[in-house]
């Protein structure tokens, strides 16, 4: 892992949303609140957490659809933290795939137009070259023969097919980095693996780096190399997927895993150990360890001081006083 | 036997033609038992539920079959009788997405009390008192009766909706994807609640989900649906550990398992258009075992020796 080429590095990144309150005040939603993370070329890092943990904000910040208020983002050695007008080269290299294939595709455009648009924006190829790139991308996402799909509109496709178009749209620019934000959560369980295999195979072929955002920790087992578990704007555990899933350290990671059923008929005879309550608001996150109000092991110290990120076994990190 | 459904059909009229949403569905349910209705979206799960509640959209073209509840044929009841005696009182339902359709301007306690005022002629105070009890039963503080929906989290709203479905002491409660909008840790809390209610109240349940792993958390028996048909029906043990129908096998193989190393598979292709379902076995275009016969003749419901039912020529 260590010898792989770094693609993107986030250093203590903070991204807040500011919402006006009354005439003179604004309140800050601390959606991402000090995240450091590296994605290497050819690697998939899963960002796991529940809604409100800041996963999407983190992903949008990494592809600079959002600008962080603090920290640094280095992409292929260049500081892109505050890129503004001079961003086109980066837009070409970093793409995002969205959760909802129903709203993320323009309903008035044909599949051909949807896939050609980014090529035109980035002035790639002449019309016949573009046609070729589009046909190749459709074949890569298994929408073949391409001619059958080119003149269709999104509503004529199934959810899985639309998400494949979303992936093809990200692919036509041959990006180095893809943020896939819950790419399968709105798709039937029986088709999820197909989309995830597709992403993985394309990634291997082109050596892309992927940030795979998901609330479903079970899929990370088969489709990621590293896992970062997020809770209320912070990464609470990080490590190689196999290590994190075999030996989950943070009480929140354990709770996430405990919550997911395997199809085992004995499940119905026992209750799951669940963590109580729901995540608090990132407007006013709890003091100390942000997980302490829901943690079965919380001590006085957890309420007051924030635990540091420590390496418990090689490459496996956690922020929790149980491991100090 | 609490419920016996035989040969239920529900077709919708659309500009594209007749949608065969439920096409000959049969199953039964014991008292205190939970049946899972599992399948990909569009396979007819919600339509089956709406047919049981007799809450049919205006464009229904065909509604046929027999539904026997407590030894009474409720299909022959008039709408008046059905409303007076069956719907909500004996069979109630938590609709898909219900937690987002709570009335935003009414206190949630009143929304739970309202059906008791209307159907049981309770006075308001009495109904509110019972609403507080129901809140306690679903794990909400009784004082939350005075809150408005926007003052509750998603998990709490889902509990309110479950309390509503329990208000008239039904014998059967249908839960249509009750956790699909919730985060995993909240989903686990709600599943624990349903387990507790099942045990404490001895109530029968039909649990609808597209996630067969989730069905294992509650269901005693599981019916796998595909394109308007039940293709396999058996105990949770039979269906989850040793599925027989090729579709059920594929569905279970597609689950990414956290505690086992079994690489998830997927089912190539998409479910068929129910306006024009495939001839013969509806699964044949996606089935690895399909033969010429499967393309032409519809397989019957076949009872296996172990008691389960499979709709597939491999067993005929
Ligand atoms: N009111 C309606 N009019 C026309 N078609 C409908 C209507 N409701 C559902 N359908 C169609 O009926 C089929 C079964 O749908 P549904 O019962 O909602 O399945 P599920 O709950 O398994 O997703 C689908 O093809 C769906 O599009
Ligand atoms: S009847 Fe034929 S096509 Fe249908 S599931 Fe069985 S083997 Fe496959
Ligand atoms: Mg449904």
Six token digits for residue B221:
């028996």
Q: Is residue A134 part of a domain?
A: yes
The three-state secondary structure class of B140 is coil
Instruction: Summarize the confidence of residues A74-101 as an average pLDDT.
Output: 91
Report yes or no: B173 and B203 within 8 Å, Cβ to Cβ.
yes
Cβ atoms < 10 Å from Cβ of B15? 5
List, for residues B196-218, the tens digit of each pLDDT value.
Answer: 999 999 999 999 999 999 999 99
Instruction: Summarize the confidence of residues B52-58 as an average pLDDT.
Output: 95
Report yes or no: A125 and A135 within 8 Å, Cβ to Cβ.
no
| pLDDT band per the 50, 70, 90 thresholds, residue A229 | very high
* DSSP letter (8 states) at residue B70: T
Q: Which residue has the tokens 């119905």?
A: A268
Tell me the C-alpha distance between B146 and B143, whole Å.
Answer: 6
Instruction: Summarize the confidence of residues B274-283 as an average pLDDT.
Output: 96
Q: Is residue A307 part of a domain?
A: yes
Ligand closest to the CA atom of residue B243: 2
Instruction: Summarize the confidence of residues A264-270 as an average pLDDT.
Output: 96
Asked whether the beta carbons of residue A256 and residue B184 sit closer than 8 angstroms, the reply is: yes
List, for residues B117-150, the tens digit of each pLDDT value.
Answer: 999 999 999 999 999 999 999 999 999 999 999 9
Q: Using CB atoms and an 8 Å cut-off, which of residues 226-245 of chain B contact chain A?
A: 235-237, 240-241
CA B241 to ligand 1 center in whole angstroms: 29
CA B95 to ligand 3 center in whole angstroms: 9
Distance of residue A256 Cα from the nearest chain B Cα, in angstroms = 6
- The whole-chain average pLDDT of chain B stands at 95
List, for residues A11-59, the tens digit of each pLDDT value.
Answer: 999 999 999 888 888 899 999 999 999 999 999 999 999 888 999 999 9
Tell me the C-alpha distance between A180 and A99, whole Å.
Answer: 8
Q: What are phi and psi of A97, to 5 degrees?
A: -110, 130
* DSSP letter (8 states) at residue B87: B
Report yes or no: B103 and B134 within 8 Å, Cβ to Cβ.
no
What domain count does chain A have?
Answer: 1
CA A97 to ligand 2 center in whole angstroms: 36
> Quick one: pLDDT at residue B99?
86
Report chain B residues whose CB lies below 8 A from the CB of A189: 40, 210-213, 251, 254-255
Residues paired with A230 in a beta bridge: A235
B228: left (phi over 0), alpha (psi -120 to 50) or beta: left
Q: Which residue has the tokens 């500081």?
A: A79
Q: How far is CA A51 from the centre of its chain?
A: 12
Q: What are phi and psi of A121, to 5 degrees?
A: -55, -40
Query: Is residue B175 over pLDDT 80?
Result: yes
> Quick one: pLDDT at residue A21?
85
Nearest CA in chain A to B154: A278
Report chain B residues whose CB lies below 8 A from the CB of A197: 266
B104 CB contacts (<8 Å, ≥6 apart)? B148, B149, B150
Which stretch of DSSP H or E encloses residue A240?
strand A234-240
Instruction: Summarize the confidence of residues A243-261 as an average pLDDT.
Output: 96
Interface test with B, best of A143, A268, A269 (most B CBs within 10 A): A268
| pLDDT band per the 50, 70, 90 thresholds, residue A3 | low
> Quick one: pLDDT at residue A22?
83
> Quick one: pLDDT at residue A191?
84
* Residue A117 burial by Cβ neighbours in a 10 Å radius (0-12, 13-18, 19+): middle
Residue A29, domain extent? 6-323
Cα dihedral sign for A261, A263, A266, A268?
A: positive
Query: Is residue A308 over pLDDT 70?
Result: yes
First to last CA, chain B: 28
**Counts for chain B of helices (H) and strands (E), in that order:** 10, 12
Q: Is residue A168 part of a domain?
A: yes
Q: Is residue A157 part of a domain?
A: yes
Q: Which residue has the tokens 């709600």?
A: B190
Residues paired with B309 in a beta bridge: B233, B303
Ligand closest to the CA atom of residue B59: 1
> Quick one: pLDDT at residue B181?
82
CB-based burial, B271-283: b 16+ in 10 Å, e otherwise: bbebeebbebbbb
B261 CB contacts (<8 Å, ≥6 apart)? none
Can you give the CATH number for the domain in which A316 is found?
3.40.50.300
Instruction: Summarize the confidence of residues A79-96 as an average pLDDT.
Output: 91
> Quick one: pLDDT at residue B97?
86
Cβ atoms < 10 Å from Cβ of A247? 12
Six token digits for residue B276:
């024009």
B141 touches chain A (CB under 8 A): no
Query: Is residue A124 over pLDDT 70?
Result: yes
Query: Is residue A129 over pLDDT 80?
Result: yes
Q: What are phi and psi of B82, to 5 degrees?
A: -60, -45
List, for residues B216-273, the tens digit of each pLDDT value.
Answer: 999 999 999 999 999 999 999 999 999 999 999 999 999 999 999 899 999 888 889 9
Report yes or no: B104 and B150 within 8 Å, Cβ to Cβ.
yes
Q: Is residue A1 part of a domain?
A: no
B204 CB contacts (<8 Å, ≥6 apart)? B2, B3, B29, B30, B31, B32, B33, B34, B171, B172, B173
């Amino acid at each position: 892992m260590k010898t792989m080429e770094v693609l993107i590095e986030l250093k203590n990144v903070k991204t807040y949303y500011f919402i006006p309150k009354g005439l003179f005040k604004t309140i800050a939603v601390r959606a991402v609140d000090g995240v450091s993370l590296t994605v290497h070329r050819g690697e998939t890092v899963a960002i796991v957490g529940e809604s409100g943990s800041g996963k999407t904000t983190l992903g949008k910040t990494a592809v600079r659809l959002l600008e962080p208020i603090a920290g640094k983002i280095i992409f292929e050695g260049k500081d892109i933290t505050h890129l503004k007008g001079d961003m086109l080269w980066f837009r070409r290299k970093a793409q995002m795939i969205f959760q909802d294939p129903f709203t993320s595709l323009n309903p008035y455009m044909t599949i051909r137009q949807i896939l050609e648009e980014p090529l035109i924006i980035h002035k790639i190829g002449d019309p016949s070259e573009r046609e070729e790139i589009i046909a190749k991308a459709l074949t890569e996402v298994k929408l073949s023969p391409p001619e059958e799909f080119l003149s269709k509109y999104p509503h004529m496709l199934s959810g899985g097919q639309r998400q494949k178009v979303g992936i093809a749209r990200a692919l036509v620019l041959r990006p180095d980095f893809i943020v896939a934000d819950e790419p399968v959560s709105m798709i039937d369980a029986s088709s999820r693996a197909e989309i995830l295999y597709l992403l993985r195979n394309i990634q291997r072929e082109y050596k892309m780096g992927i940030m795979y955002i998901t609330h479903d920790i079970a899929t990370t087992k088969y489709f990621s190399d590293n896992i970062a578990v997020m809770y209320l704007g912070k990464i609470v555990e990080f490590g190689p997927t196999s290590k994190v899933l075999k030996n989950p350290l943070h009480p929140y990671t354990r709770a996430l895993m405990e919550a997911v059923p395997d199809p085992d008929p004995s499940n119905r005879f026992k209750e799951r150990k669940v963590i109580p309550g729901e995540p608090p608001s990132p407007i006013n996150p709890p003091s100390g360890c942000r997980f302490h109000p829901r943690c079965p092991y919380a001590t006085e110290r957890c309420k007051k001081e924030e635990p540091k990120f420590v390496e418990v076994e090689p490459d496996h990190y956690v922020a929790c006083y149980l491991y100090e | 036997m609490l419920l016996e459904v035989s040969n239920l059909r529900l077709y919708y009229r659309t500009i594209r033609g007749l949608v065969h949403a439920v096409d000959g569905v049969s199953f039964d349910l014991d008292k205190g038992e939970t049946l899972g209705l599992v399948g990909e979206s569009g396979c007819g799960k919600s339509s089956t539920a709406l047919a049981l509640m007799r809450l049919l959209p205006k464009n229904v073209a065909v509604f046929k079959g027999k539904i026997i509840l407590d030894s009474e044929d409720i299909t022959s009841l008039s709408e008046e009788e059905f409303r007076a005696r069956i719907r909500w009182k004996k069979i109630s339902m938590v609709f898909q997405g219900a937690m987002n359709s709570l009335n935003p301007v009414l206190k949630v306690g009143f929304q739970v009390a309202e059906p008791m005022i209307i159907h049981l002629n309770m006075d308001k105070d009495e109904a509110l008192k019972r609403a507080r009890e129901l809140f306690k039963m679903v794990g909400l503080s009784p004082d939350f009766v005075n809150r408005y929906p926007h003052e509750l989290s998603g998990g709490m709203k889902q509990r309110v909706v479950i309390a509503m479905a329990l208000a008239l002491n039904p014998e059967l409660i249908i839960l249509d994807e009750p956790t699909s909008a919730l985060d995993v840790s909240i989903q686990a809390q709600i599943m624990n609640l349903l387990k507790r209610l099942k045990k404490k109240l001895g109530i029968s349940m039909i649990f609808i989900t597209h996630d067969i792993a989730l069905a294992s958390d509650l269901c005693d028996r599981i019916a796998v649906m595909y394109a308007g048909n039940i293709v396999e029906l058996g105990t949770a043990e039979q269906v989850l550990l040793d599925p027989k129908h090729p579709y059920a096998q594929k569905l279970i193989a597609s689950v990414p398992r956290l505690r086992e190393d079994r690489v998830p598979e997927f089912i190539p292709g998409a479910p068929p258009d129910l306006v024009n379902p495939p001839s013969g076995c509806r699964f044949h275009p996606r089935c690895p075992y399909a033969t010429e016969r499967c393309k032409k003749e519809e397989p019957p419901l076949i009872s296996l020796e172990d008691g389960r039912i499979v709709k597939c020529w491999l067993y005929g």
